[in-house]
Structure 1
């Protein structure tokens, strides 16, 4: 009987240890659309982490992806994104439009667009999403311009990605 308990304990401890470890990651996908002369951006963020950050910042519960979600949440999202995700194209700061968002299980997808971009030689991305509240946060940036793929992993220490397409 003792042996069974010991074996059960050995089997459970790694599972508990593994599930207690949480990872913090966002993904920003950037693609230049030559035909539309626009840059299309999709940002994926874990809902619970974003909910925590927005709740702390605004001192009220957001209840993201629930029936009790705060009204006008898209305005809060866009304001947060504008503060924490900044783009420069060919050395010039550019603004993006918030197209919308979509929830999928535990992730929210943000759809953004930068219009009137005739060509791209260089992209700079500053991404500080969730870093203030989650120091271990990592923000993966993937960019595709003229069929050339580039990527960077941003952290609290390294918050800027530079991609050159000359």
Structure 2
């Protein structure tokens, strides 16, 4: 019986050694159109600990987003990072967006972006290139949901495919 238990332990031990908790690396971005404001409105949700980690890695700083120690510098680096990693094109042309602000929702940072003065009748296509966190995590998935003028489309973007598009 002892030999059977030892044999079973030897068989199961290698399997147990490789069962670790795997963390998900994901962000979710919603792209919509506001008829009232005549603007493209974008919200991006990213896990706070991942955002702090990428800011620390990329800019060699101690990031304290979402804590009582958050500084103006932390917010500046957040905006800078989002602007370099989230690119929007309208009708094939890259456009600038306004970083309206951010808020915290439990363990997430939610960034609010807007492209003003967009006439829906002139909008033929919109694309989002989202490389947020792909420079830190190879497993990162950035989900982008488009909902404009009754058309919906979703994309799961990964490090090797970072662009999603909606044709209108």
- TM-score class, shorter-chain normalisation, is 0.7 to 0.9
The alignment partner of 1:22 has SS state of coil
Q: Summarize deviations over 1:100-147 as a string: whole Å, max 9, x none.
A: 000111100000100011022101111100001100000000011102
Matches within 5 A, 1:4-153: 17=19, 20-119=21-120, 120-153=123-156
The runs of at least 4 consecutive aligned structure 1 residues that moved more than 4 Å come to none
Largest Rg, 1 or 2: 2
Structure 1: runs of 5 or more not aligned:
1-12
| Offset at residue 76 of structure 1 (A) | 1.2
- Normalized against structure 2, the TM-score is what? 0.84
**Are the aligned partners of 1:127 and 1:139 in contact in 2 as well (CA < 8 Å)?**
yes
Q: Summarize deviations over 1:23-52 as a string: whole Å, max 9, x none.
A: 000001000112321001100000000100
Partner of 1:5: none
Structure 2: runs of 5 or more not aligned:
1-14
| Offset at residue 152 of structure 1 (A) | 0.5
